[in-house]
Amino acid sequence: MDWAEGEEIVTPPDEPTDRELIRKIVAAGGRKYTAGNIDRRKYQRLVALSRLTEASVNISDVVYEATEAGKAAALPDD
């Protein structure tokens, strides 16, 4: 689908922002295990931003781990 110029892409209200998600992962020890056939796009965005690394555990499970950049991004604003 092509977006019209000036059209804004809005995250659904139940989806955390990238910053909220990385903060949640860091607060929980810096790792997130995902199992099964789930939508991993929210984690993939953070991988693309170098906030997380990913490692496949098996064909359906992935472990994400916060990078140093991810941990820094999770720090509260001053």
Asked whether the predicted pLDDT for residue 1 surpasses 50, the reply is no
Domains of the chain: 18-73 (1.10.10.10)
Q: What is the mean pLDDT of residues 31-37?
A: 96
In 3D, which of 71, 72, 58, 75 has the Cα closest to residue 31?
71
DSSP H stretches of helix in 1-78: 18-27, 41-48, 68-73
In 3D, which of 38, 34, 42, 36 has the Cα closest to residue 62?
34
pTM for this structure?
A: 0.78
The per-residue pLDDT for 5 is: 64
Please give the backbone phi and psi of residue 33, each rounded to the nearest 5 degrees, phi first. Answer: -95, 125
Q: 34 with 61: CB under 8 angstroms?
A: yes
Asked whether the predicted pLDDT for residue 10 surpasses 50, the reply is yes
